[in-house]
Chain A
Amino acid sequence: MEAFGLLLHGFAVLLTWKTLALMMVGLVLGIFVGVLPGLGGPNGVAILLPLTFTMDPTSAIVMLSCIYWGALFGGAITSILFNIPGEAWSVATTFDGYPMAQQGRAAEALTAAFTSSFIGSLVAVLLITFLAPMISSFALKFGPPEFFAVYLLTFCSFVGLGREAKHKTVISMSLGLLLAGIGMDTVSGNLRMTFGSSELLRGINFLVAVIGLFGISEILLTMEERLALRGHAASISLRVVLSVWKDLPKYWVTLLRSSFIGCWLGITPGGAIAASFMGYNLAKRFSKDPESFGKGRIEGVFAPETAAHASGTAALLPMLALGIPGSGTAAILLGGLMVWGLNPGPLLFVEHKDFVWGLIASMYLGNVVGLVLVLTTVPIFASILRVPFAAVAPMIVVSCAIGAYAIQNAMFDIWLMLGFGVVGYVFKKIGIPLAPFTLALVLGNRAEDAFRLSMIGAGGDLKVFWSNGLVGSITTLAIVLLFWPVIDGLLARVGLTRTPRPRRSN
């Protein structure tokens, strides 16, 4: 029960007027970001990150994580009321949420969405509270070889288990790793790939790339579509809330199943998007009446929302415990950690107790406050969509530029952001996934350092990655995952797996 005491300490850190105010600001900004088209959780967090540069790390992470919770809540509003998923992970919510709104049950659907989001996050936060300290204290024994093995596992699982064409994932990841290597080499001090440019000396900042890849490119993509929308603006009365809550126990299996899926996919690099679809599909499959899904069934809102939020929250677990982000947004928070001068990894739990437990406590508090906030203010946020995109788009561009510039006070970074915007736009359109790129860019240097430190320690002998049971099994697992599609195919050929997976076209 040590975790419990530390959690209480976290709440004590949190309960100051200043922190609470920042939390509210973060939540409001987050919901805003979640509702607006062309702005999502990761961009919102990346753009608003510069605001936190002059804060102490605890206030900063509280505000940023609240932006994240807010964005998760906000995504549901547009899915249900307008049939426009504000975020990719709320696509599944539209399946039953929008029909409910059409039937005049918008308030019910919104309450269901917000409540299940809350439950999903809560389960994941409980998991983080008790599991993260254990994992991190275990990881304290890790040396460079173990860390490299874990990084390798992360990269390999992306390639082996990703849905996209393998060569596209490989391109995306190797490009990210290469760009991460630009600038001063941290081990030898040599310059690499700078081509004599003093601007490239600093290296390519991860956050600048993210703002371009997700912020600018998203604006370009949004403009391609028809931006007309038509929907309902519902306000939620206390009666509706209570009637939905009264029925909650009936759906405990769905909620629990979705929370579990969400936590699992959040920790592994499956992500919130996969989790929401899986939650929805499983709820449908196990339902006694699968035909009624898609026609406005409340379970069809509960299932994906719970899973998406559980996953979005659980993605912070590997970020906190090991310094490996489980999602794009977690990667950006990790980038923030480095800006604030904290070293991500298991040592956080030892050296920065206030920070870690303040963050965990803010997950509890932020979700409670967020739930109340969205339930009471839905009409205001829904009406944001009345603002024409022609007014929103330039403001987002300006915010992106401010964010990109503020990170290193460099004009060059604004140009870099623009370049990454174009890259992101093209990559998204030809199906090169951006998640491996982001992950590689943020972890690249640390992975390389870990590898080279292991090599220096072992005198250049690769056998160090199989020198004990732990590191050996992680490395082996990584290699198995990398070649998983091949292995899976071979197993299917000898008839060891029952159902050969259908071949995916491209």
Chain B
Amino acid sequence: MPQTDLEIVVDDPTAPEDDSPSLVSSGTIEIFVCLLLLALAATLGYDNWRTGASWDSTGPEPGYFPFYLSVVLGGGSLYGLVKALVAHGAAPETFVTRAQARRVMAVFVPTLLFCLATQFLGLYVASFLLIAGFMRLVGKIALWKSLLTAVVFTAIMFVTFDIAFDVIMPKGPLEAAFGY
């Protein structure tokens, strides 16, 4: 059977090591999440009780449904909390290893900065900075490739959304200087 069988090989030099130590166990995170959910359930429950969570002649008041949902959410989280506390300590499962956490942060922090930059500089400038910066600093890709990719991608997005489809994105000082 004639077919071209080219190999595609992509390496990942910064891959997290397999033997990296565990940073935090799933059990700990579960306890933490359950506590947070419990607090959320209490806050929302209180707010809905204030709005009115009883049953009047025409059926439930506006807060009725969300109030009881908060109770259900609280109950579920409480159960999860107890379960996680009981299981805690016995054969802890890794939530994330140190090397994995480093990689996750390497995406999360730039994304956070990108959102911040979007607020002040507009989406397109932020997008250029994110792509160029991420490719260069995290991906260790050649500077010219990073800059070119960032410019081309941002330009395509601008033309597609702002010009072709009339979907207006947040703008900053740079776009203002060009009259957009």
Contacts and interface: CB of A to CB of B under 8 A. Distances in A.
Interface residues of B, number: 83
Interface string B10-32: 11100110000000001001100
A460 B55 contact: yes
A51 B160 contact: yes
A390 B2 CA distance: 35
A50 B106 CA distance: 28
Nearest to A168: B80
A240 B115 contact: no
Contacts of B111: 216, 219, 397, 418, 421
Interface stretch (A174-182, A202-210, A279-287, A487-495): A174-182
A228 B17 CA distance: 13
B115 A418 contact: yes
A393 interface: yes
B123 A193 contact: no
Given A239-B1, A459-B58, A233 B130 contact: no
B131 A53 contact: no
Contacts, number: 246
A224 interface: yes
Nearest to B167: A406
Contact of A430 (B5, B26, B59, B104): B26
B62 A219 contact: no
Interface stretch (A10-18, A261-269, A409-417): A409-417
Which of A188, A231, A395, A460 is the most central at the interface, judged by chain B CB atoms within 10 Å of its CB? A395
B170 A398 contact: no
A427 B30 CA distance: 9
Interface string B65-90: 11001101101110110010000000
Contacts of B104: 220, 223-224, 425
Which of B73, B119, B160 is the most central at the interface, judged by chain A CB atoms within 10 Å of its CB? B73
Interface in A411-470: 411, 414-415, 418, 421-422, 425-427, 429-430, 432, 448, 451-452, 454-456, 459-460
Contact of A224 (B29, B100, B110, B114): B100
B10 A383 contact: no
Which of A235, A394, A405 is the most central at the interface, judged by chain B CB atoms within 10 Å of its CB? A394
A391 interface: yes
Given A388-B139, A390-B138, A430-B33, A398 B5 contact: no
Interface in A377-412: 379, 382-383, 385-386, 388-391, 393-395, 397-399, 401-402, 405-406, 409, 411
Contacts of B3: 104, 106-107, 234-237, 240
A174 B76 contact: yes
Interface in A100-121: 104-108
B40 to A, nearest CB: 8
B173 interface: no
A71 to B, nearest CB: 19
A167 interface: yes
A385 B10 CA distance: 8
A272 to B, nearest CB: 26
Contacts of B110: 394, 397
Contact of A459 (B1, B57, B100, B119): B57
A427 B80 CA distance: 13
Interface of A: 50-51, 53-54, 81-82, 104-108, 167-168, 170-171, 174-175, 177-178, 181, 185, 187-188, 190-193, 195, 216, 219-220, 223-237, 239-240, 379, 382-383, 385-386, 388-391, 393-395, 397-399, 401-402, 405-406, 409, 411, 414-415, 418, 421-422, 425-427, 429-430, 432, 448, 451-452, 454-456, 459-460
Given A224-B104, A406-B167, A432-B33, 11 more contacts: A108-B1, A167-B79, A190-B51, A192-B62, A219-B107, A225-B16, A228-B11, A232-B5, A405-B170, A414-B115, A451-B60
30 contacts: A50-B161, A51-B161, A108-B1, A171-B73, A174-B76, A178-B73, A188-B61, A190-B51, A192-B47, A193-B44, A193-B48, A225-B15, A226-B15, A227-B10, A228-B10, A231-B8, A232-B6, A235-B4, A237-B3, A239-B2, A390-B135, A393-B134, A394-B131, A394-B134, A397-B111, A401-B123, A418-B111, A425-B104, A426-B29, A459-B57
